[in-house]
Structure 1
Amino acid sequence: MSATQTLSAADPHALGKVDARTWIAVAAGMLGAFMAVLDIQITNSSLKDILGSLSATQEEGSWISTAYLVAEIIVIPLTGLLTRVFGLRAYMMGTTALFLVFSTMCGMAWNLESMIVFRMLQGFTGGALIPMAMTLVMAKLPPSKRATGMAIFGLTATLAPAMGPTFGGYLSEIYGWPSIFYINWAPGILLMMGMAYGLDKEKAKLDQLFNADWLGIGFMAMGLGCLTIFLEEGNSKDWFDSLFIIAFATMAVIGILGWVITSNTRAQPFVNLGLYSHRNFLVATTLSAVMGMGLYGSSFLLPLFLGQIAGYSPMQIGEVIMWVGLPQLFIMPFVAKLSSKIDNRLLCSFGLLLFGGSCLMNAYMDATTGYDQLLWSQVLRALGQPFIMLTLSNFAMNGIGPKDMPSASSLFNMTRNLGGSIGIALLATALTKREQFHSARLGESITAFSSEVVQRLDVLTQSFINRGMDPGTASNMAMKAIDNLVRREAFVMGYNDGFLLVGWILLACIPILWLSDKVKSPSGGGGGAH
């Protein structure tokens, strides 16, 4: 089957039943997207064990995640070209097979350098699976079934970031950290079997590879890769105080400008940046970036808070985080049905209200906050995310022609991942700065002239003396205990400020959403826009 025939199912008139073979191919694609997104953050909760085995510091270890993200963000815009060259079936099966090989090599890494190289190769092969899942929905399902397909795709995008640290922590605790990489074989084999059965063979068109816009690809790789490194490493290196960060920021600007210029001067660019001139697509991708910021930002802040302040183990953190996932399994089919009946701007606004509200609920935590206090904010977040993810996919793909669908899918997913990197960079910096600010403000009230402070120090000193310490040591320990208490409270306030920031950004997006046109998911009887 040719590429043109492959996309013919995207014709608005191609309605009707979908055979089991097609559903198996779509389901296999979703499994791949889930696996690839899961692997972005699966190392987070196991990082301490990994660094210990590889004799690396925390700062060096940040490159384990950065390498994956850089490679993934570069390959996502290339998926349309690579699909045209190798065919959908061959490319999906080939990139999955390589992903499994590099996953295995990650588990067998012997030092930090080898781990970083294998993570980069893992990201380059796995990143393609994310936009390809969305392309499969648009290319293989008739309009009447796309709401269902997009609902499943939405689950992969929202569930995986929440489950990554949880799943990784669980596997590491029971089987050791290499298991978080070896586990990919189970879904990977199923994916390849599903693709082999569900998709027809296509003839490779290697000439397109040789005639591709390699200058534009080079600029894109430099721009997005350097931008991701700038975002991921900026906070730990004090941003523009570091020549390293300035260099990568400069290369990111040059690369992205070069990509935009070459794309506009080529008759056949490898990805169609002209899609950003469509108002609905521009609004959808902008909000997709904000959604990525919210998804990855909240998945970054909450486990960090529970581990640092509440002293939770990865397993305990997982029990809290899972409430972002479980309700989505039940709410997504309901949202898919509603999306064909109600203006998607209303549904997305409702989702942003719930998601933003859940973050504002987390902006009032204290040092005793734990599972019971966080449960309802997690449930609210889980209820809101499907309303946003499904409707944004509808906005992005509304009015996009079959030949531009791979480009639209790539750019939509690329912006969500970029938004995640921006969100984590923003929140990591905000947490550092706000902790310092609150620590200084709290420190101003902790003086030797305060009767409450003197009384508290006396009680703590006496407590340490009763444990057998000499008065001098006991006094020093009391001072250290007060200092730790101030630092802890300052961090709690910093986490609260982070959630406040995410909450207000999400709520501020509601008016932007209404700049788009009215859209509904296609129902059994018609097209996609009403």
Structure 2
Amino acid sequence: MTGDSLIRPTGEPSRRDWIAVMSAMLGAFMAVLDIQITNSSLKDIQGALSATLEEGSWISTSYLVAEIIMIPLTAWLVQLLSARRLAVWVSIGFLFSSLLCSLAWSLESMIVFRAMQGFTGGALIPLAFTLTLIKLPEHHRAKGMALFALTAMGVPQLFLIPFVPLMMKKISPKWLCAIGFGLFGGASFLSGVLNPDFAGEQFNHIQIIRALGQPLVMVTISLIATAYVMPQDAGSASSLFNILRNLGGAIGIALLATLLDSWAKVYFDYLREALVPSNPQVAERLALLTEKLGSEQAALAKLSEITHQQAAIMAYNDAFHCIGIALGVSMIAVLLTRKLPAGTTGTAAH
């Protein structure tokens, strides 16, 4: 960074400082929005490219891995090109690679273009994070982290995020973060009771709990992680923070996809052991399906489809339980972090 960015800001940020931070936030929003759109439509993309669940997970993983490669280079590229030039070039590259993704003709081409997206968009989030650290003084850091969290939130969370900096003036960020992890983990356990009758209405209250917990984590965890970071270390701290976050996401996506596939096969084999003609319930169900579908072959195919569905539901329930346990461990871990320095949340002391 330049010499003036090595001085910890203490006064009120100027209009140019806020414009720089907001512009960087817009770039980060573009990168995060792309990830969210892809994840929400991953099933449709997999279907269009004739990809399996395990193969389709590489569409997301390739982006995250390429992003991880780019993130450590961001601080050096800022010194080489300046933040403004770097932002322009990576934005152009990000838009061009996004256009190529819309023209992908196979799974392989989609993975390559998604990697290009991740590489060009990998600098956008660290830029926003770094500028928040070097342009905003400590008493405005909570507002900056709230703005940073806005780039990764959905519509329900947008209404809660502006209140998080205000809550941090009364409640320790560590406790707010722990509460957020607890709500998020509780929502995961509630999600782990799926059955074929589950629909949107059953998920509404779970999504509300998750929406309440996520902003508490996103805003406070960034503040906790950077509370003792000096401006001269902002680039390295931003790279490390985002690398660990994205690496965890890439590993988590790949691990969950693998576990879901493995557990679904295990549960299918377990359920299949009970599907024997001597079982009266199986015989009765098979007779009803044969009468309804017109042939025993069609009835057997339908019974196999139902069994695969039940196995997949059981695998997803286990996955939600694992996520809930991981979030519970995170809730305990965040309470063991160091006490934040005075003034970090906009108050005189914690």
1:334-353 map, 5 Å: 334-353=163-182
Instruction: List per-residue Cα deviations over 1:262-283 (Å, max 9, x = no partner).
Output: xxxxxxxxxxxxxxxxxxxxxx
TM-score by length of 1: 0.61
Out of 82, 91, 107, the residue aligned to residue 87 of structure 1 is: 82
Please say which of residues 342-351 and 514-523 is displaced more in the overlay: 514-523
> Which letter does structure 1 place at the counterpart of 2:123?
A
Distance in structure 1 (CA, Å) of the matches to 2:236 and 2:205? 38
1:483 aligns with 2:304: yes
Out of 102, 125, 145, the residue aligned to residue 120 of structure 2 is: 125
Matched residue SS, 2:336 = coil
Residues 458 and 359 from structure 1, CA distance in 2 versus in 1: closer, same or farther, beyond 3 angstroms? same
Residues 435 and 523 from structure 1, CA distance in 2 versus in 1: closer, same or farther, beyond 3 angstroms? closer
Contact 2:71 2:243 (C-alpha < 8 Å) held by counterparts: yes
1:444 aligns with 2:291: no
Out of 74, 77, 96, the residue aligned to residue 72 of structure 2 is: 77
- What is residue 188 of structure 2 aligned with on the other side? 359
Distance in structure 2 (CA, Å) of the matches to 1:85 and 1:105? 28
Matched residue SS, 1:517 = coil
Residues 358 and 111 from structure 1, CA distance in 2 versus in 1: closer, same or farther, beyond 3 angstroms? closer
Distance in structure 1 (CA, Å) of the matches to 2:3 and 2:27? 24
1:118-517 map, 5 Å: 118-157=113-152, 159=153, 325-465=154-294, 474-517=295-338
Contact 1:109 1:115 (C-alpha < 8 Å) held by counterparts: yes
Contact 2:178 2:334 (C-alpha < 8 Å) held by counterparts: yes
Distance in structure 2 (CA, Å) of the matches to 1:94 and 1:7? 25
Distance in structure 1 (CA, Å) of the matches to 2:55 and 2:311? 26
Contact 1:41 1:65 (C-alpha < 8 Å) held by counterparts: no
1:35 aligns with 2:26: no
> Which letter does structure 2 place at the counterpart of 1:370?
A
Contact 2:186 2:324 (C-alpha < 8 Å) held by counterparts: yes
Distance in structure 2 (CA, Å) of the matches to 1:494 and 1:64? 22
Matched residue SS, 1:71 = helix
Contact 1:457 1:479 (C-alpha < 8 Å) held by counterparts: yes
TM-score by length of 2: 0.90
Structure with the greater relative contact order (CA < 8 A, sep ≥ 6): 1 or 2? 2
> Which letter does structure 1 place at the counterpart of 2:338?
D
Contact 2:61 2:250 (C-alpha < 8 Å) held by counterparts: no
Distance in structure 2 (CA, Å) of the matches to 1:451 and 1:56? 38
Contact 2:268 2:307 (C-alpha < 8 Å) held by counterparts: yes
- Give 5+ residue unaligned stretches, structure 1: 160-324, 466-473
Contact 2:132 2:145 (C-alpha < 8 Å) held by counterparts: yes
Instruction: List per-residue Cα deviations over 1:217-247 (Å, max 9, x = no partner).
Output: xxxxxxxxxxxxxxxxxxxxxxxxxxxxxxx
- Root mean square deviation of aligned Cα: 2.5
Aligned residues: 348
- What is residue 3 of structure 1 aligned with on the other side? 2
Distance in structure 2 (CA, Å) of the matches to 1:50 and 1:487? 22
Contact 2:146 2:219 (C-alpha < 8 Å) held by counterparts: yes
Deviation at 1:63, TM superposition (A): 4.8
Residues 155 and 445 from structure 1, CA distance in 2 versus in 1: closer, same or farther, beyond 3 angstroms? same
- What is residue 202 of structure 1 aligned with on the other side? none
Matched residue SS, 1:416 = helix
Residues 515 and 73 from structure 1, CA distance in 2 versus in 1: closer, same or farther, beyond 3 angstroms? same
Contact 1:74 1:124 (C-alpha < 8 Å) held by counterparts: yes
- What is residue 281 of structure 1 aligned with on the other side? none
> Which letter does structure 2 place at the counterpart of 1:79?
T
Residues 516 and 47 from structure 1, CA distance in 2 versus in 1: closer, same or farther, beyond 3 angstroms? closer
Distance in structure 2 (CA, Å) of the matches to 1:115 and 1:489? 31
Residues 418 and 371 from structure 1, CA distance in 2 versus in 1: closer, same or farther, beyond 3 angstroms? same
Residues 64 and 407 from structure 1, CA distance in 2 versus in 1: closer, same or farther, beyond 3 angstroms? same
1:522 aligns with 2:312: no
